[in-house]
Amino acid sequence: MTTVEPPGANEPLDELDFRLLAGVRELWEDADPMPATLVEQIRFAIRLEDVDLEVMRIRDLEQVAGARSAAEQGRLITFDSESLTIMVNVSPEAGSTIRLDGWLTPPAEHPIEVRTATGPLTTTSDAEGRFAVCGVPHGMVQVLVRTVGRSRTVSTPAIEL
Amino acid sequence: MNVAKTDHARVATLFDAAREGDRAALDELVSLLTPLLWQVARDQGLDAEHAADVVQTTWLRLLGSFAEIRSPVALTGWLITVTKREAWRTGEKRQIERPLPELPERLSEASPAPEEGVLREDQRVRLWRAVDNLPERCRSLLRIVAFVHRPDYAEVGARLGMPRGSIGPTRGRCLARLREQLLANGEGDWL
């Protein structure tokens, strides 16, 4: 699309321009506000000793929209990265905690760390790639797989369970 | 004139500290730059949940890439590029033609803090209408540029793939169009 430049396009920015940009920001903040918990969630996720991470992407199999915090019903979440897939089944336990049953593909024995709001819970996957962690508190949860034989730690994003 | 809320000098200080491994500095960078990345992800047409995931993933990826990033301006550019790439990789169906969201009533209107915003109510309505009348690419550019500080303008325009409409030392096509609308019809009560 070739159009004539609107008047003033080549003039330097002035005070009105900065006011307009500040106004545009204010309007977008009102019209499309960032979730209030997003910054806290990111801070939780990046508070890691590992910096060389393989970051997994969420591929939800069930209950895609609006069910992120519905651990009550039990749900299956799948995470993918270049080298690994993790399926995690989330189910409620008595005592208002949750249980995670995970399955790594390709299957292998790896140290697993489940980061929670109250501290890490650790286990190891078995030769079939299966692992289970009980007593996980509700709130932010992030799964790390410290893959044996490789330097990079595989991490899921933090999710609210 | 320093209207933008993201303080570039502060980002520069935090950038150096965070690269050295200062976690408090990194946390503050997250507070300062996540609002920008949220708008980038949403402008890619993602729903709120996917946008939040994408922004978080971008920050996690930064942990391993910090050493390659040379300057605070490059950091802003890197974060925008990775957010866009991650948004694209989600493979979510994205709306191509997106109407501008409705402008909500300002929540603080009833509270005793009328000085909080930079706009009066009539200015809000007129500015939003002017934004609505812009071509889509200009609307996107201004949406993102409005969340960065001046030294980042040129970099941001390049990262968004539209250097020609961009804002830099000069106003650029998109901002000139916005001004043109607001100053037309004797509606120029902006100063």
Q: Where are the beta strands (DSSP E) in chain A?
A: 53-55, 57-60, 75-80, 85-92, 97-105, 111-116, 119-124, 130-137, 140-145, 153-155, 159-160
Chain B residues inside the 8 Å CB shell of A30 = 103-104, 106-107
Sort strands A57-60 and A111-116 into parallel, antiparallel or unpaired.
unpaired
Res B42: pLDDT: 95
Nearest CA distance, A86 vs chain B (angstrom): 16
Q: pLDDT class for A36, splitting at 50, 70, 90?
A: very high
8 Å CB contact of B49 and A65: yes
Tokens encoding A117: 């709001």
Q: What are the extents of the domains in chain A? A: 35-158
Find residues 60-99 of chain A whose CB sits inside 8 Å of chain B.
Answer: 65-66, 68
pLDDT along chain B (191 residues), means of 10: 59 94 95 96 92 95 92 94 92 68 66 61 88 93 93 87 83 93 70 49
ipTM score? 0.89
Q: What are chain B's domains?
A: 1-99 (1.10.1740.10), 113-190 (1.10.10)
Res A137: pLDDT: 96
Is A16 in the B-facing interface, judged by CB distances under 8 Å? Answer: yes
Chain B residues inside the 8 Å CB shell of A26 = 117-119, 124
What gap in Å lies between CA A9 and CA A16, rounded to an integer?
A: 14
CB A54 within 8 A of CB A151: no
What gap in Å lies between CA B180 and CA B141, rounded to an integer?
A: 17
> CB neighbours (10 Å) of residue B36?
25
User: A15-31 and B136-145 helices cross at what angle (nearest 10)?
Assistant: 100
8 Å CB contact of A45 and B171: no
Res B183: pLDDT: 85
Q: Does the model's pTM come out above 0.90? A: no
Residue type present at position A42: I
8 Å CB contact of B173 and A9: yes
Tokens encoding B57: 């993933």
CB A156 within 8 A of CB A78: no
Nearest CA distance, A134 vs chain B (angstrom): 25
